[in-house]
Chains A and B, each alone.
Chain A
C-alpha cells in the first residue's frame, strides 16, 4: 500500500470559516463584553443624571469649597466650623491614617507575641493564647467595638471623679488626659533623642557587619541604652533644664491643658488592634510551623536556646510565609477603621457622611471615600511588596 506523501510540502492547515476562527471569536466576545459594560454604565449614568435633575440635587465638586458648618470632635490639624468641606475631609483623612498606623503597629506587636505564645511549650500559656485567638476571631468586629465603647463610657468614672493622677495621667470616661512637655523648652531633649537614635542605628549596623564577617556577637542593647541616657541628659541640660509640664487640670467642665486621647479613639484602637492581632497571631503561628523541623533540630544540635533559635533561624525564614497574609490583614485593619462611624470617632467615612447629609451630594461623597481607601490600600500594598521582595530568598 502506497502512502501518499507527495503533497506534504504544499499542505496548509485547514482554514476554518471565519466565525470558527478562535482569534476572531476572541475579538468578537471582547467587543460584546465591552459594549455590554459600556451599555450598562450608560444606562446607570443616564438614569442618575435624570434623577438628580428631577429632584434638583446639585452635582459637581464645587460644594467642597462651601463652609462646613459642623464641628469635629478631634483632629490632628486645627479646624473650626467656618472652614470649608475639603478641610473637614482632610481632618477625617488624617484621623483615619492616625488610627490605622497606630493600630497596625500595635496589632503586629501583640499578634506576634500571642502567636509565639501559642507555640510555647508551656501548656498554660499556649492554652491562654488559644482562648484569646478563638474568642476574638469568631465575634464580629462591630460588636467588639460597641462593647469596648460601652465599657469605656459606662464603667469608667465621670471626668470630675477621674482615676488619677498617676504620673500626671488621668483616666475617665472621656479618655486619657496626659501631660505634655512645654514645646520649646523640651526641644533640646528632642534633639538629644534624635541624635541618640541615629547613633544607635549606626552602632547596630556596625555590630551586624562585624557579626557577619567574624561571627563575633557584639551587644547593642547595653551600649545603646547608655547612649540614649547620656544623650537625653545632655539634651535636657542644653535646653536649660526645664521642668515644667503642661498638665491637665479639671477646670469648669473638663480637663484643660495637656493632651487627650479620647474615649472614641481608645475604643476604636482597642477593638481594631485586638481583633487584627488575633488574625496576625494565627498567621505568625502558621509561618513558624512552615519552617521545616530540620531547622529546629539542627539549631538545637548547635546548642542554641529556644529564644536564639526563634530569633536567628526560624523567624527570618518564616517572614517569607508571614508577609503576604499579614499585608492583607493590614489592609483589613485600614478598611475596618471605617467602622469608626458607629462609635463617633470622626474618621473619613464619618465626616464625608455628614458632608453628604448636609449637601445632599451622595455620589461625589462616596467617590471621595472610595478614592481615599483605594489610595491607602495601594500604598500599604506597595510598601509591603517592596519589603516582601527585600526579604525574598535569593535563589541561585
Chain B
C-alpha cells in the first residue's frame, strides 16, 4: 500500500478528468448518444448564431439613419427603433408631455419593485397607504388638469404605461374579489357556494378575448340610457373579472393548505368567522399564495396584449402601428423584437423573483 501522507507521492488526476477537457467529457461527450446530440447542437448553433449576430450587430444600421440606408444594408435596421421608440413606448400621448407618462411609469415600477422587497413587508398596512398615494400621483400625472398640467383624456393613453396600468390595476382589484370568491367557494352555505362556483367555472372556461368582447360590446347595453363608460374602464373591468376567477383558485389552494388545526383552534378561541379569517387563516394562506399570485401577475401582464383586439393602444398595438408607416414597413422584425424584448425583460425578472420567493418562503416551513 502506498503511503500517501507525503506530498511528493501524490499523483495528480489524469488530464482527461479535470479542467476543461474533463468537464467536456463529463457533460458533453459522456456516451455516444450524448456526443451525437452535442454535435447536432453545435451544428445548429454554428449555422444560426453567427448569422444572427451578423444580422443584428455587424451589418446593422444604428442611430438616426433614413429608411433608404437601412434598405441597402443587409442587416437589422435599428434606426427604425431610434425613430419610433417614443411612439412605441407612449402611443399618441401628446409629444411634449411624454415626461408625464415616463414619471408615472417610474412610480409604478417603484411601487411594484418596492412591494417585492421582503424586509419592507414589515411595514404592514403602510404598504397600502403608499400604494394609494402612488396611484393617486399616477392619476394626476396621466390625466393632468390640475397643478398647471394640461388635461389628457384617457383615450390618448398608450404604450407601456397603459400596459402597466391595466396589469397593475387588474391584479390589485382582482385580489380582494378573488379572496371573497375563494371564501365563498369554501363556505358551508350552499347558495353562496353555488354562486361562487358558477362564477369561477364560467369565467375560467371562456377565453379572455370573449370577456373583452363582452366588456366592450355588451357593457354599454347593460347600462341605463345616458350613462356611458369609457372603453378603458370597460376593458379594465373585464380584466379584473377574469383575474378574480383565476386568483380565487390560487387562494383556494392556499386556504386548503392550512392545516385544519388552525381553523379549529380559532373556533376554540371563540373567534367569529371573519375574525378567524382575517387574523389567523388569511395571513397564512396569502403567504403561501404569493408566488402563484406573482405568476398570475406575469400572466396578466402578458394578457394585456389582448386589448389590441378591442382597439386600445397598448404596447403591442403601438409597435404594430409603428411599422405600418409605409417607409418603415419592411422592418417589422425589428419592431416585434423590440416589443418582445420589453415584455421579456419584465416577465423574466418577475418569474426569477417568484422562484426565489418560493424558495425563500419555504425556508420557514417545517415540511
Contact = CB atoms under 8 A, between A and B. Distances in A.
Nearest to B36: A122
A37 to B, nearest CB: 6
A33 B347 contact: no
B192 A139 contact: no
Contacts of A123: 27-28
B223 A341 contact: no
Given A30-B192, A47-B221, A349-B207, A339 B41 contact: no
A26 interface: yes
Interface string A130-152: 00001101111111001100110
A143 B207 contact: no
Contacts of A29: 189, 192
Interface in B280-326: 298, 302-303, 305-306, 308-309, 316, 320
Contacts of B339: 143
The interface centre, meaning the residue of B218, B220, B221, B348 with most chain A CB atoms within 10 A of its CB, is B221
Given A29-B189, A135-B344, A141-B305, 9 more contacts: A29-B192, A31-B191, A33-B192, A33-B195, A37-B195, A121-B26, A124-B37, A128-B44, A142-B308
Contacts of B217: 356, 362, 366
B267 to A, nearest CB: 11
A359 interface: no
B213 A147 contact: no
Interface of B: 26-28, 30, 34, 37-38, 41-42, 44-45, 188-192, 195, 202, 204-210, 213-214, 217-218, 220-225, 298, 302-303, 305-306, 308-309, 316, 320, 330, 332-333, 336, 339-340, 343-344, 347-348, 351
A146 B30 CA distance: 41
Nearest to A50: B225
Contacts of B218: 48, 362-363, 366
A249 to B, nearest CB: 31
A373 interface: yes
Contact of A373 (B41, B189, B207, B213): B207
A138 B306 CA distance: 15
A392 interface: no
A331 B207 CA distance: 10
Closest 4 pairs (CB-CB, A-B): A138-B347, A335-B207, A123-B27, A30-B191
A369 B210 contact: yes
Contact of A138 (B192, B209, B348): B348
A241 interface: no
A125 B188 CA distance: 51
Given A124-B42, A154-B332, A140 B348 contact: no
Interface of A: 26, 29-31, 33-34, 37, 44, 47-48, 50-52, 54, 120-125, 128, 134-135, 137-143, 146-147, 150-151, 154, 331, 335-336, 338-339, 341-342, 349, 353, 356, 362-363, 366, 369-370, 373-374, 377-378
B193 to A, nearest CB: 10
A139 B340 contact: yes
B207 A146 contact: no
Contact of A44 (B222, B332, B340): B222
A169 to B, nearest CB: 23
B316 A140 contact: yes
B216 to A, nearest CB: 10
A30 B320 contact: no
A142 to B, nearest CB: 5
B213 A353 contact: yes
A122 B210 contact: no
Nearest to A122: B34
Contacts of A125: 34, 37-38, 41
A370 B210 contact: yes
A54 B333 CA distance: 48
Nearest to B336: A147
A125 B39 CA distance: 10
Contacts of B303: 140
Contact of B206 (A135, A147, A154, A369): A369
A146 B336 contact: yes
Given A29-B192, A124-B41, A336-B207, A141 B223 contact: no
* Interface majority SS (helix, strand, loop, mixed), chain A: helix
15 contacts: A30-B189, A30-B192, A33-B192, A120-B34, A122-B38, A124-B42, A138-B347, A139-B347, A150-B336, A151-B333, A338-B209, A349-B207, A370-B206, A370-B214, A377-B205
A54 B347 CA distance: 46
Contacts of A369: 206, 210, 213
Contacts of A341: 209, 309
A54 B308 contact: no
Nearest to A142: B305
Contact of A48 (B37, B221, B309, B340): B221
Nearest to A340: B209
A335 B34 CA distance: 38
B306 A143 contact: no
Nearest to B198: A37
Contact of B308 (A134, A135, A342): A342
Contacts of B305: 140-143
A349 B210 contact: yes
B20 to A, nearest CB: 12
A124 B38 contact: yes
A125 B195 CA distance: 49
B338 to A, nearest CB: 11
B320 A146 contact: yes
A26 B187 CA distance: 10
Given A48-B221, A362-B221, A374 B316 contact: no
Nearest to B347: A138
Given A47-B224, A143-B305, A366-B218, A373 B206 contact: yes
Contacts of A335: 206-208
Nearest to A26: B189
A140 B210 contact: no
A140 B302 contact: yes
Given A30-B192, A366-B210, A373-B205, A143 B343 contact: yes
A127 to B, nearest CB: 9
A125 B223 CA distance: 57
A335 B210 CA distance: 10
Contacts of B202: 370, 374
Given A30-B191, A349-B207, A349-B209, A47 B222 contact: yes
A124 B28 contact: yes
A192 to B, nearest CB: 35
